[in-house]
């Protein structure tokens, strides 16, 4: 028979090992492939083409307003963006499957100053190696996917900011 502390300890171990690793660098992709191209509009009708960002490191995040980890990481993405734009690093948070009104309502609670292109019919997300939301990709200056992060992160963590700046300075 199991002692009473065992279920508690098992639960504690599972919680600790499944918690997001906010400060951990994502693993580098050994054989980076070109990122799938896209052209998307934001809720104001502004067009964003991935090829316009050649020569820059680009953070491409896929998210939805109904996704709790997406909502949780959005404020840290805004704080990171305030640092990264000074380094000429681009950030695009692509909303998946929602309309402009939904995104507008979301930004009332989570104001951001980086672009939020819309993939309303989910065609773009189907071309990327996504395992769930949020999924974030880091592209090098040649437009290749060099990092992939599944799940939420604290994007303003100094280690992640340094990783992105290092990549931009290569």
What is each CA distance from 158 to 80, 84, 96, 131, 165, in whole angstroms?
9, 11, 28, 26, 10
For the entire predicted model, the pTM comes to: 0.86
Smallest Cα–Cα separation from 142: which of 48, 25, 58?
A: 58
For residue 153, give both structure tokens.
Answer: 């992160």
- Contacts with 21 (C-beta within 8 Å, 6 or more apart), sequence order: none
pLDDT mean across residues, the chain:
89
Predicted confidence at residue 165, as pLDDT, reads: 97
Q: How far lies 157's CA from each of 13, 21, 56, 76, 84, in Å?
A: 24, 11, 21, 8, 12
Percent of the chain with pLDDT over 70: 86
Mean pLDDT of the 86-103 span:
98
CATH 3.40.30.10 fits 64-170, yes or no: yes
What residue ranges do the domains of the chain occupy?
64-170
Of the pLDDT bands very low, low, confident and very high (cuts 50, 70, 90), residue 127 is very high
Q: Above 70 in pLDDT, residue 163? A: yes
Q: Return the pLDDT at 6.
A: 37
pLDDT of residue 10: 31
């Amino acid at each position: 028979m199991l002692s009473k502390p065992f279920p508690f300890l098992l639960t504690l171990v599972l919680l600790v090992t499944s918690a997001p690793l906010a400060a951990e660098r994502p693993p580098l992709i050994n054989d980076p492939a070109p990122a799938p191209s896209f052209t998307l509009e934001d809720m104001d009708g502004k067009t964003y083409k991935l090829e316009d960002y050649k020569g820059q490191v680009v953070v491409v995040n896929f998210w939805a307003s109904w996704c709790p980890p997406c909502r949780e990481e959005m404020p840290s993405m805004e704080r990171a963006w305030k640092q990264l734009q000074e380094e000429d690093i681009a950030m695009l948070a692509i909303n998946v499957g929602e309309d402009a009104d939904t995104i507008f309502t979301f930004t009332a609670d989570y104001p951001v100053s980086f672009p939020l292109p819309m993939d309303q019919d989910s065609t773009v997300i189907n071309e990327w190696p996504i395992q769930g939301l949020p999924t974030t990709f880091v592209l090098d200056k040649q437009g290749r996917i060099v990092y992939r992060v599944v799940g939420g992160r604290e994007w303003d963590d100094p280690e992640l900011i340094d990783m992105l700046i290092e990549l931009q300075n290569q």
